[in-house]
Copies of this chain bind each other. A is one copy, B any other.
Amino acid sequence: MLESPFNDEYFMKRALEEAQIALEKGEVPIGAVIVIKNKIIARAHNLTERLNDVTAHAEMQAFTMAADYLGAKYLKDCTLYVTVEPCQMCAGASYWTQLDKIVFGAPDKQRGYQHYKTTLHPKTKVVSGVLETECSKLMTDFFKSKR
């Protein structure tokens, strides 16, 4: 029997592809995808430099895209895959979306929502550490190159 190719690693790889695009544009390399029933309905990467907008995080764009795709305000059956732990703003946004699940790769000990104790929606589950090494390495390499 064939195993389904769709699991958390599969979708995190898609988020990593987005992070790679951000990197090539000189952006902090963070990528995100939103998935419903194994279907990717939003792909986004950090665009704070290009848009000159500190709120243009990958997750914020992905939330707006996914709602647009679904024609629905809430993302109840959706999972967000994001390469780095969301910040207070993005976690706060996820509260309003009523997202089913957040899966993130690398923790962000300084700016991540867990450090700041942002409250998620009670329905939102969290999985962390998926492809953490790859997600982290993109960030570390980026900041090393900026020094």
Q: Does A54 contact B (CB under 8 A)?
A: yes
Q: Does A60 contact B (CB under 8 A)?
A: yes
- Kindly report how many copies of this chain are found in the complex they form together: 2
Residue on B with the closest CB to A71?
B52
Q: Does A68 contact B (CB under 8 A)?
A: yes
Task: Scan residues 75-124 of chain A and give those whose CB is less than 8 A from a CB of chain B.
Answer: 87-93, 95-97, 116-119
Question: What B residues does A125 contact at CB under 8 A?
Answer: none
- Interface contact A93-B48, CB-CB below 8 Å: no
Interface string of A108-147 (1 = CB under 8 A from B): 0000000011110000000000000000000000000000
Question: What B residues does A95 contact at CB under 8 A?
Answer: 87-89
Q: Does A64 contact B (CB under 8 A)?
A: yes
A-B contacts, 9 listed (Cβ < 8 Å): A52-B67, A52-B73, A53-B64, A54-B73, A54-B97, A88-B118, A89-B90, A92-B118, A116-B119
